A and B are shown apart, each in its own frame.
Chain A
Amino acid sequence: MDSFNNLVGGFAHALSFANLGWAILGCFLGTAVGVLPGIGPALTIALLLPITFQVSATGAFILFCGIFYGAMYGGSTTSILLNTPGESGSIITALEGAKMARSGRAGPALATSAIGSFIAGTIGTLGITFIGPFIVEYALMLGPAEYFCLMVLCFVTVSAVLGGSALRGLTSLAFGLMLGLVGIDLQSGQPRLTFGVPEVLDGVNVVLVAVGLFAVGETLFLAWRHVEGKQEIQPVGSIMLSKADWKRSFWPWIRGAGLGFPFGVMPAGGTEMPTMLSYYAERKLVKPEFAQEFGTTGAIEGVAGPEAANNAAAAGVLVPMLTLGLPTSATAAIMLSAFQSYGIQPGPMLFVQQADLVWTLIASLFIANVMLVVLNLPLVGLWVQILKVPTPQLYAGILVFATIGTYGISNSVVDLVLLYGIGIIAMFMRRFDFPTAPVVIGMILGPMAEQNMRQALVISQGDWTTFLTRPISATLLAIALLALVGPKLWGWVGRRREAVRPAA
């Protein structure tokens, strides 16, 4: 009941003129960057970080969350009309969505994904409202040793469990940890990993890294094998859903939301896994008379489910971010650094010390969902216009913003050189399939993990077994170890069995 009262209070704040304005601006920007291929919410929020010096924390976070939610809505539009995913969470949507568009059903595909996003986003936000305070109660009992182990678990899941290969994911993470170490060590005052360059004594700026990875790297990678040509945008047509469409979409929406939210909450983060699972589930569960639509003319179930899943997962990602201060996606990591720039330490104390901020933010998430469904359905024509921005202008423009965002940090050419260096590394990371999100997460979470580790060791007077003798931290480390070696072990046991069988 407490949550309910707090939420009502949150709505009172969120419905103020200024906060509604931030929400609209965020939803608008978020949808736009979601629609545009090549830029995403992480890059946009990174570029807008200077806003934290200008406006109140509440306003800035309403804006950022609007961008975060909006990008999830906008990404589906690109997937459906262009058959190129606008966001990593909408890769699966492109499978059926683009086929529906090609057979003249782009409108219903857009409608089912927008309404599904709304339903799932609302379910996910309800999840934050009621699960968040519950997690906070437990989180308040965690000490530095437990926190350190929780962060280790987070490192393992975001880098080794998701994606193509544990080896490459962990390499990205280690690169991020290295970047996070650059600068003066806060506890001893000693410079580390600075290579004697005075400009980096304050550390490598997170904006620079995010922009290098997501804007410069992406642009370079595209130019590398660029082939000139125009992409075909499918016409939208009527966006009305027929009665049959509603019926076929309803359960996929609910199931997608049910799959997506827990995946977002777990420190595994990411939207790729739940969208994929939702797609396969819908493919299995589809009524036999519609089964042949999968992969041919495009089945509406295959759009409704994954689109709901990615929005619910996006909401879920906010749970560990707000309650534990653990970012499990690149976007959440950058929001975390925004909290730090306000001097706010996200984590369980956030709900206690900044209750107004948290509940206003949660209330504005509900409001953002309503705004987004309006922005995305009746105004779909506007976003189609944005899709028509030609590739040369789009990437030239992205680099303009990348340059100003980086140069603005300290008006230093050294920053630009670093930016281009990271961009070149990111280009090769794309080529060799190294994920980029673990870099950002490692860079932001790494220093926090180190601090907790040192604190835990001070408390235990240098006794390393503190991480193993405390039940919660030992359990967390065991889960991390299992997540790291479990899949390998499983495969090895499987191969052994197969090798044994023919012999027997």
Chain B
Amino acid sequence: MIQAHSSRADLGAGGFVLGLGVLALWQAAVVPASPLYGQVGPSFVPYLVAVLMLCLGIGLCISALRGGWSHTLEEMQDPQPTNWKALGLLFAGLLANLALIDWLGFVIAATVQYVLVAAAFGSRKLLRDLLVGAVVCLAAFMMFDRLLGVNIGAGILEGVL
């Protein structure tokens, strides 16, 4: 029973690889023909990689149908149940960052993300995380924006920082 289940998961992985192969094949087909003369056109290697990907996807699917490989992995011997709370909070953090960063700037968006990610991994001290997060994000901002010379949008803190 367990074996059958894990092979279904492996079949999903194989199917995903097949899907990537199909995507690559489609993208190789839409490469415009080069007007320049060349021994090997720009679409040759994309086709090659697409075919390789498709072959590997087929290989993985065959392997999955024969029982899969997940049950041989040490980490999957006695796996913990999926921690939906942790995953949920983590994704909430990533999405919050995505939504806020252009508008409020890196420091604020990343601080919100910091608090949510820390909560995902079980931290319960909201206020402390907020403070530590703000300090870490400000330090990261200073390091990249000032020291490394990378332009990072400061958002509404522009002018203050």
Q: Which residues on B sit within 8 Å (CB–CB) of A397? A: 114, 136
Could you name 10 residue pairs across A and B whose Cβ atoms are closer than 8 Å? A178-B24, A178-B49, A194-B27, A393-B132, A404-B140, A408-B144, A413-B102, A416-B101, A432-B69, A450-B45
Whether B31 lies near A175 (C-beta < 8 A) is: no
Q: When the two chains form their complex, are residues B137 and A391 in contact, meaning their CB atoms are under 8 A apart?
A: no
A202 within 8 Å of B (CB atoms)? no
Contact check, A188 vs B118: say whether CB atoms are below 8 A apart. Answer: no
Kindly list chain A residues whose C-beta atoms are within 8 Å of the C-beta of B81.
225
CB pair A408–B79 under 8 Å, yes or no, is no
> Is B52 an interface residue when CB atoms closer than 8 A count as contact?
yes
Interface string of B84-104 (1 = CB under 8 A from A): 001100100110011001100
Q: Does B83 contact A (CB under 8 A)?
A: yes
Contact of B69 among A216, A390, A417, A433 (CB under 8 A): A433
Q: Is the CB of B123 within 8 A of A390?
A: yes
Residues of A within 8 A of B46 (CB): 181, 192-193
Given contacts A188-B34, A407-B101, contact A392 B90 (CB under 8 A): no
Question: Does chain B have a CB within 8 A of A400?
Answer: yes
State the CA gap A390–B132 with chains docked (Å). Answer: 12
Of A170, A174, A432, which contacts B70 at CB under 8 A?
A432
Chain B residue with minimal CB distance to A169? B56
B67 adjacent to chain A (CB < 8 Å):
no
Q: Which A residues from 398 to 442 make CB contacts under 8 A with B?
A: 399-401, 403-405, 407-408, 411, 413, 416-417, 420, 428, 431-433
Among B63, B141, B149, contact of A54 (Cβ-Cβ < 8 Å): B149
Task: For A188, give the chain B residue with the smallest CB separation.
Answer: B34
Main secondary structure of the interface of B (DSSP, over half): helix
Q: Does A454 contact B (CB under 8 A)?
A: yes
Residue-wise interface mask of B (1-37) relative to A, using a CB-CB cutoff of 8 A (1 in contact, 0 not) = 0000000011001001100100010011001101010
Please report the C-alpha to C-alpha distance between residue A220 and residue B120 in the assembled complex, in whole angstroms. 10
Interface of A is mostly: helix
Q: Which of B9, B117, B129, B152 is the most central at the interface, judged by chain A CB atoms within 10 Å of its CB? A: B117
Q: Does A226 contact B (CB under 8 A)?
A: yes
**A188→B42 contact, CB < 8 A:** yes
Given known A188-B36, A195-B27, contact A416–B49 (CB-CB < 8 A): no
Q: Write out the residue numbers on chain B whose beta carbons fall within 8 Å of the beta carbon of A411.
A: 151-153
Q: Say yes or no: A174-B49 contact (C-beta < 8 A), given A399-B93, A407-B106.
A: yes
Q: Which residue of the partner chain, among A50, A228, A450, contacts B122 with CB atoms under 8 Å? A: A228
Q: Is A227 among interface residues, defined by CB-CB distance under 8 A?
A: yes
CA distance A194 to B87 in the complex (A): 30
The digit string for A447-463, where 1 denotes a CB below 8 A from any CB of B, is: 00010011001100110
Residues of A within 8 A of B (CB): 48, 50-51, 53-54, 164-165, 167-168, 170-171, 174-175, 177-178, 181, 185, 187-195, 216, 219-220, 222-228, 390-393, 395-397, 399-401, 403-405, 407-408, 411, 413, 416-417, 420, 428, 431-433, 450, 453-454, 457-458, 461-462
What residues on B are CB-neighbors of A167 within 8 Å?
Answer: 56, 59-60, 63
Chain B residues positioned under 8 Å from A228 (CB to CB): 121-122
The residue of chain B having its C-beta at the shortest distance from the C-beta of A227 within the complex is B80
Bound-complex Cα distance A175 to B49 (A): 9
Contact with B114, one of A177, A399, A405 (Cβ below 8 angstroms): A399
CA distance A407 to B145 in the complex (A): 11
| 5 A-B pairs closest in CB distance | A392-B123, A392-B121, A188-B34, A408-B150, A225-B80
In the complex, which of the residues B41, B59, B69, B118 contacts A392, with contact meaning CB atoms closer than 8 Å? B118
Interchain CA distance A400-B132 in the complex, whole Å: 12
Residue of A53, A224, A226, A396 with highest tally of chain B CB at under 10 A: A396
CB distance B148 to A51 under 8 Å?
A: yes
Residue contact B45 to A181, C-beta cutoff 8 Å: yes
Whether B123 and A171, one on each chain, are in contact in the complex, defined by CB atoms closer than 8 angstroms, is no
The verdict on A454 contacting B38 (CB below 8 Å), with A175-B20, A396-B129, A404-B110 known, is yes
- Is the C-beta of B77 less than 8 angstroms from some C-beta in chain A? no
State whether A399 touches B113 (Cβ < 8 A): yes
Residue of A nearest to B57 (CB): A171
Which residue of chain B is the closest to A462 with respect to CB atoms?
Answer: B39
